[in-house]
Structures are given as C-alpha cells and as structure tokens.
Amino acid sequence: MSDTASLVSAVEILGSIEESYKTILTPEAIAFLVLLHRTFNTTRKALLARRVARQAAIDAGILPRFLPETKFIRDDPTWQGAPPAPGLVDRRVEITGPTDRKMVINALNSDVWTYMADFEDATSPTWENLVSGQANLYDAVRRQVDFTVPGGKAYKLRTDRLLPTLIVRPRGWHLEEKHFLVDGEPISGSIFDFGLYFFHNAHELVKRGSGPYFYLPKMESHLEARLWNDIFKLSQDMIAMPRGTIRGTVLIETILAAFEMEEIIYELREHSSGLNCGRWDYIFSFIKKFRHNPAFVLPDRSAVTMTSPFMESYVKLLIKTCHKRGVHAMGGMAAQIPIKSDAAANKAAMENVYKDKLREVNAGHDGTWVAHPALAAIASEVFNKHMPTPNQLFKRTEEVVVTEADLLNSKVQGSVTEGGIRKNLDIGLGYMEAWVRGVGCVPINYLMEDAATAEVSRSQLWQWVRHQVTTAEGIKVSKEYALRILEEETEKLEKSAPKGNKFRQAAQHFSTQITGEDYADFLTTLLYDDITKINSKSAKL
C-alpha cells in the first residue's frame, strides 16, 4: 500500500471525532478509503451522468428494453453465479434495520438466518449515525456489542444458538459523504460505508466462519454492478484476501435494473449471492422514471400490490433469472409491526403477512425479509413448511416468459382518492420529519416506513398533480389542492407531536415536491444538507 501518512494528508474530516470513533477512523482505514476514492470516483460520477442521459431519453419517449448488445450473455446457458458462501446457504428469513447498538443486538438475537444492517434507507446519514454504526458492527462481529442503559436494561447477545449471518447495505452510488473530503471533494457514501466495514472486519469475519457480505442498492445498470465488482476485486487484493470472498446481493429496486438482471449477475459472477425484490423502491422507480408519461399514472399506493401486472412480472423474471444462474432469489419486506392495542386488527395484519410470505415461497423465492422480530416466526413457519430445504435453487421456471411489455404494464385496478392523498402526505411528512431529526426508520400506522415508502408517497403526489388526475370523489388534483391538503395534514401532525418537532421544516421541503414541477432525484439528497454538521476546520485524529 502507498505511504499511509501521505494518503491521510489528502483527507479533511469535517465531522466531530469522538473517542469511540478512533477505532474506526484509523490512519490505515483512511488510507484505504483514499485509494478506493481516487481509483473509482471518476467512474462513479460518469455512471451518474449516464443516469441523467437515460432519464432524458425516457422523457423523450424511448422506453427501456432488454439490451441487444448483451444478448450473448442472456443466451449463454453455461455461466453461473458463485455457489452460496458460508452462512448464506440458508437465508429463508432475513431481518433488516438500522445500525444503532440496540437494534444490532435485537436483530442478532432474533430467530432469523441473516441480519441486514442498513446504512441506506433505514438510516438517516448523520455523521454520528454512520461512524457509531460502524463501531457497533465492529463490536458485533467480535461479539463485544453488549451494553447497559444507565440505570436500566442490559442488552446482551444470546449464547444459546448461532447468531444470524451479518450482511451490510452501504448507501447507493448517488449519495456522498460531505463530512469526509478526499482531495477537496466528498467521498462516495457507498465507498465510505463499504470501505470502513470491509477494511476492519473482512479477515475477522472469515476467521469466524462467515465473510464480508453486502446488499447493493439502487443500481440502474449492469455497468454499476461492474463498478462494485471492480471495487471488490481491488479491495480483496489490497488486504491479501482471495477474490470471491466478498459476496453481494443486488436489490432489484429500479425498473431499469429489471431489464438487466442477468447482466448484473454476470458482472458480479464470483461475488454474486443473488437478487432481491425491493418492492417499495421498485414502485418508486417505476413512477419516477415514467413520471412525465400519462400512460404510467398509478392509483392509490394501497392498490399497487405484488399482484399488479408490472410487479408480478418483475417477480417472475427475477426468480427465473436467479435460479437459471444458480443464485438466491430473495423476496420482499414485510413492514408490519404488532398492533398491541387492537387484537382484531393485529390478527388481520399478521394474516396478511402470512399470505404474502406464502405467495413468495410458492413463487420460488429462497427467502424473505421482515422488519420486526415478531414477524420472524410467521415468515419462518411459512418457509419451513413449504421450503423444507435450505433454498429452492433447484426450482426452475424456464417455461415463464416475461416480455418488455409485461415489465411496463401499468394497468393497475384502482383509483386515486382523497384518503390516498392524505395517507401519502402523512407518510411523507412523518418520515421526512424523523429523518431530519436523525432517525431513518419510523413506525407510522403500524408499518415500519423507510425512505422507499416516503419516495412512493411524494412521487405519486407529483404524478397526480402533473397529470391533473381526478379523484374518486370528483376533485381535480391541482397544485393548489395538493398544497392545501399538505397544510391541513401538517397542522394535524404538529398539534399531536411533542414540542420541538420538525414537521414545519419537513413540509417546507415537501411542498416543493408535490406540485408537478420541481422533482428532486431523491428525497435523501434533497434533505441531506439539513443533517450535515460541517466543522469550520478539519477534525484531528
């Protein structure tokens, strides 16, 4: 490795340096990040520019299609992804959540097979959340994450069984880390999250019988998967680790990635551990990419289910693709949380979870996600009964044919209602208010909401106003109407929330996003400056 001191001198850390952070922000780890940034950031920015050009083409009427230039990859039956890595053979139930210390312990104590520790949609990327989250995972890998709340409860890792396999989701390619500058520019949030976790924990994980495993979010093309693969190869080389030790499961949560599933697995081959149905982000992407096209206007969020034509087609293609290439096809999130105050409502909610997981296992998924430990038993019951094997990679669906038109079929039964508009506003405001307070995973109406569901909410509102949709009640959804309902919902939420809440701040941002005019690429980039705390001078280690 190049001289550590000279590499570290290229860095300015504009966030605070607590004593506990120094285990993570070591000179050697910083030097590792600098090399990754200098090697790959130019490519990352070029790929982001490619996204902009692709959106312009879609806006001009050029719809996505299966790429003719990569047909040879899809037509070649001989290549396969990597065989499952240690700890990833059986993934029938995965729990997801942020990386605060309490969540890490609760997730690892859950009766699940894996835990996806999330630096992305379930984390508000404050400097404190990110670095303390890395410290929590560092301790969790070494089984030293126990702690006691002052004067209160003790949180300890269980010792009566093997703990779930740890998988980490770094931020997407579009996000930057403004508290960490290299050569005067912010480092990629993806590289920052991946690099710190990998550098500190890769060898320790392998020693303990696992490995450095990742979920890769928000990709829009196989070229973005190629970038991850190049980073994986170099990172392993830099710490003398055999290539293929890293594994990455790709969330297919953009409509563009759905047209390149085989190519994405192909790019990652020796590092691939499958694909996942990121349902809420996928709906968000579907609306976002085609937001200017009136043929793609969708009804209320509640009407857009996994059996909607474009969603069902995407699931079928994902399972067929993964099993054809020998990698896991992971199902989607059950976002429900227990309703302790209403037994009947809780029973109905849990029955819906059961039905959704039954649909997934019967379709051919090899595992599924839950957001709350209480749902693990339901998901496990379904998968244990209907998938007694560690996975069902052997279940081939070669007879399934999914066309380009199937993936773009926006004919969803349902209507736009005032109730749906108010629900979108409540979810968007509730999530954004929490996010600017530094909380990235929020229970709203007994569902665990993250950035993806807030994105669906604001994108639907934008789309309905843009195309002057008429509600089931006969009201045209105009800019004035949307802003009036926004004000009404903001006042309700402000009155019911504790003093010092940030609903007004959230509403100011939201008001720019629901009028059919301005449209931020992501809510997280729109809000990011609100949570940055930039020191005037670079912090000293």
**Domain co-membership, 344 together with 283:** yes
**Residue with more model confidence, 447 or 232:** 232
For the chain, give the number of residues: 541
Q: Is the pLDDT of residue 157 over 80?
A: yes
**Who's near 480: CB < 8 A, 6+ residues apart?**
none
State the residue for tokens 């979108």.
424
Q: Confirm whether 114 is domain-assigned.
A: yes
Give 491-522 pLDDT, tens digit per residue: 999 999 999 999 999 999 999 999 999 999 99
**In a domain? residue 9:** yes
Residues 185 and 298 both lie in one domain: yes
- Are residues 292 and 161 part of one domain? yes
Verify that 437 and 339 share a domain, yes or no: no
- Distance, in Å, from the CA atom of 224 to the CA atom of 507, rounded to the nearest integer, reads 34
Looking at 406, 428, 445, the residue that finishes a domain is 406
Tally of domains in the chain: 2
336 backbone dihedrals φ, ψ, rounded to 5°: -65, 150
Asked if residue 222 and residue 353 are part of one domain, the reply reads yes
Inform me whether the pLDDT recorded for 2 exceeds 90: no
C-alpha 270/C-alpha 247 separation (Å) is 8
Catalytic choice (91, 437, 450, 458): 450
Residue 539 lies in a domain: no
Within a domain: residue 266?
Answer: yes
- For the stretch 89-98, pLDDT in tens is 999 999 999 9
Q: What is the pLDDT of residue 151?
A: 81
Report how far Cα 196 is from the mean position of its chain's Cα atoms: 19
pLDDT by residue (tens digit) across 161-199?
999 999 999 999 999 999 999 999 999 999 999 999 999
Is residue 537 included in any domain, yes or no? Answer: no
Residue 210 pLDDT level (bands cut at 50, 70, 90): very high
Residue type, position 416, single letter:
V
224 with 101, same domain? yes
DSSP letters for 56-88: HHHHTT------GGGHHHHH--S---PPPPTT-
d(CA 100, CA 135): 10
- Asked if residue 447 has pLDDT above 70, the reply is yes
403-438 residue pLDDT tens: 999 999 999 999 999 999 999 999 999 999 999 999
Q: What does the mean pLDDT of the chain come to?
A: 96
pLDDT of residue 446: 84
Is 137 in the same domain as 265?
yes
Closest C-alpha to 441, from 94, 15, 92, 100: 100
pLDDT digits (tens, 9 = 90+) for 98-152: 999 999 999 999 999 999 999 999 999 999 999 999 999 999 999 999 999 888 8
Q: Are residues 453 and 308 located together in one domain of the fold?
A: no
Separation between Cα atoms, residue 283 and residue 288, nearest integer Å: 9
Task: Establish whether 121 is a catalytic residue.
Answer: no
Using an 8 Å Cβ cutoff, are 145 and 154 in contact?
no
Q: 227 and 138 in one domain?
A: yes
Boundary of a domain, candidates 406, 429, 464:
406
Instruction: Using CB atoms within 10 Å of the CB of residue 6, give its burial: 0 to 12 exposed, 13 to 18 middle, 19+ buried.
Output: exposed
Question: pLDDT-based confidence at 541, cuts 50/70/90?
Answer: low
pLDDT, one tens digit per residue, over 352-400 is 999 999 999 999 999 999 999 999 999 999 999 999 999 999 999 999 9
Say which residues have a Cβ less than 8 Å from residue 46's Cβ, sequence separation at least 6: none
- pLDDT > 90? residue 1: no
Closest C-alpha among 403, 407, 442 to residue 426: 442
Question: Among residues of the chain, what percentage have pLDDT more than 70?
Answer: 99
| Average pLDDT score over residue span 47-65 | 98
Q: What string of DSSP letters covers 409-420? A: ---------HHH
Per-residue pLDDT tens digits for 315-345: 999 999 999 999 999 999 988 999 999 999 9
**For range 262-286, the mean pLDDT:** 97
| Same domain as 260, residue 229 | yes
Give the domain CATH number at 478: 1.20.1220.12
Is the same domain home to 425 and 503? yes
Q: Does residue 536 surpass a pLDDT of 80?
A: no
Predicted confidence at residue 149, as pLDDT, reads 87
> Do the domain assignments include residue 491?
yes
The answer to whether residues 33 and 182 touch, using CB atoms and an 8 Å cutoff, is yes
CATH number at residue 156: 3.20.20.360
Do 299 and 428 share a domain, yes or no? Answer: no
Angle at 226 between CA 292 and CA 24, to 5 degrees: 100
Asked which of 406, 432, 463 is the last residue of a domain, the reply is: 406
Residue range 37-50: average pLDDT? 98
Cα–Cα distance measured from residue 52 to residue 58, given in angstroms and rounded to the nearest whole number? 10
> Is 504 considered catalytic here?
no
Cα–Cα distance, 435 to 438 (Å, whole number):
5
The pLDDT, as a whole number, for residue 537 is 65
Contacts of 242 (CB under 8 A, 6+ apart): 236
Matching residue, tokens 């009028």: 515
| 536 within some domain | no
Task: Identify whether the C-beta of residue 30 lies closer than 8 Å to the C-beta of residue 370.
Answer: no
State the catalytic residue, choosing from 169, 171, 301, 466: 169
Nearest-angstrom CA–CA distance, 269 and 262? 10
d(CA 234, CA 240): 10
Domain span at residue 482 reads 415-530
Q: How far is CA 282 from the centre of its chain?
A: 10
| Residue closest to 32 by CA, chosen among 223, 210, 187 | 187
Does any domain span residue 538? no
